[in-house]
Chain A
Amino acid sequence: MLVLTRKKGETIMIGDHIELVVLGMEGDSVKLGISAPKHVQVFRKEIYDAIQQSNKEASQTGWNIDQLNRLFGKE
C-alpha cells in the first residue's frame, strides 16, 4: 500500500481524473472531498461489505421456496 502524508487542503490524484482532497481533521475523523468522473462509483467500504455479506447469506441454499410461496403467495 502506498502511504502519503498530506496536510489539510492538500490533494492527491488517482490517475488523471480522480482527486482526493483532505478537507479537515476532527479527532479521529478525516474529512475527505472526492472528485471523480460519473462512471466511477464512490462509496463507503462498509456499504459494499454489507452488501457482500448480505448476498453471501442470501445465496445459502438452505431455503425452501415452497414454504416462502405458501407464506407470501397470492393464489
Chain B
Amino acid sequence: MNIESAQFGSIDIDERQLITFDNGIPGFESYRIFALLTPNAQMPFSFLQSLDDKIVAFILTNPFLFYPEYEFELHEEAAELLRIRSQEEVTVWSIVSVGSHMSDSTLNLLAPVIINPISRKGKQVILHGSGYLTKHPLRPNNMDSANSTEVKENANAGLDA
C-alpha cells in the first residue's frame, strides 16, 4: 500500500509495517495508525510515520544502544493491551528529538514506545517515578564518530519525573 510522508514523499509499504496505537500517543491522541519504517537496517534509526497526518513522524532508536544500563518494568496493563506474552513480543524504542545541531539530539527515556511486532500494537508508556527524563543526550559512547564532550553539557536538560 502507498502512504504519504512529508519527509519521504509517497512510499510503498507492507501492511505488516502498520502499528496500531489504541490510545494514540501523548500530544497526538487521535492518531492511531503509524507505519514503522527502517530505511537502512545497518543504521540505528527508524521512523514512525503517522498515516493520519503526513507531517507527523518520529525518529525512533533502540535506547539500549546509547544507554546499555537502561531498565524499567513494563506495567502489567500495558503488557495486556499490547498482548505481550513472551520476550519475543516486546520491542523497546525511544523517540529522538533533534536539536538545532544534530549532535544536540536527545532521547526520551521517560516515555519509551513499546511495540509488539506480532500483534502490531504499540503504546508510549510513562515511567513515572523512574527518574528518567524526556531529554537524555544521544551520547555516542558506543558509537564511533561523534564527540562526547559537548554531549555532557546537556546532561541536566529536561524534566524530572
A48 touching B95 by the CB < 8 A rule? Answer: no
Contact B111 A54 (CB under 8 A): yes
B126 touches A47 (CB 8 A): yes
Q: Is the Cβ of A61 less than 8 Å from the Cβ of B7?
A: yes
B135 at the interface (CB under 8 A from A): yes
The distance from the CB of A39 to the nearest CB of chain B, in whole angstroms, is 5
**Binary per-residue interface labels of chain B (113-153) against chain A in the complex, 1 for a CB within 8 Å, 0 otherwise:** 00000000000101010000011001010011110000000
Closest 7 CB pairs of A and B: A52-B27, A55-B27, A63-B98, A54-B134, A50-B159, A43-B128, A58-B97
| CB nearest neighbor in B for A61 | B6
The total of interchain contacts (Cβ-Cβ below 8 angstroms) comes to 113
> A residues near B, CB below 8 A?
38-39, 41, 43-44, 46-48, 50-65, 67-75
Contact B97 A54 (CB under 8 A): yes
Residues of A within 8 A of B56 (CB): 59
Q: Which residues of B contact A71 (CB under 8 A)?
A: 102-103, 140, 145-146
B105 at the interface (CB under 8 A from A): yes
The prevalent SS among residues of B at the interface is loop
Complex: A40 Cα to B126 Cα, angstroms: 13
Nearest residue (CB) in B for A59 is B56
Is B86 interfacial (CB 8 A cutoff)? no
Interchain CB contact under 8 A, A38 and B59? no
Task: List chain A residues, Cβ under 8 A from B40.
Answer: 69
| Neighbouring A residues of B19 by C-beta, 8 Å | none
25 A-B pairs with CB atoms under 8 Å apart are A39-B77, A43-B126, A47-B126, A48-B126, A50-B110, A50-B134, A53-B134, A54-B108, A54-B111, A54-B134, A55-B27, A55-B124, A57-B97, A58-B95, A58-B98, A59-B57, A61-B55, A62-B98, A63-B98, A65-B45, A65-B59, A69-B40, A69-B44, A72-B140, A74-B144
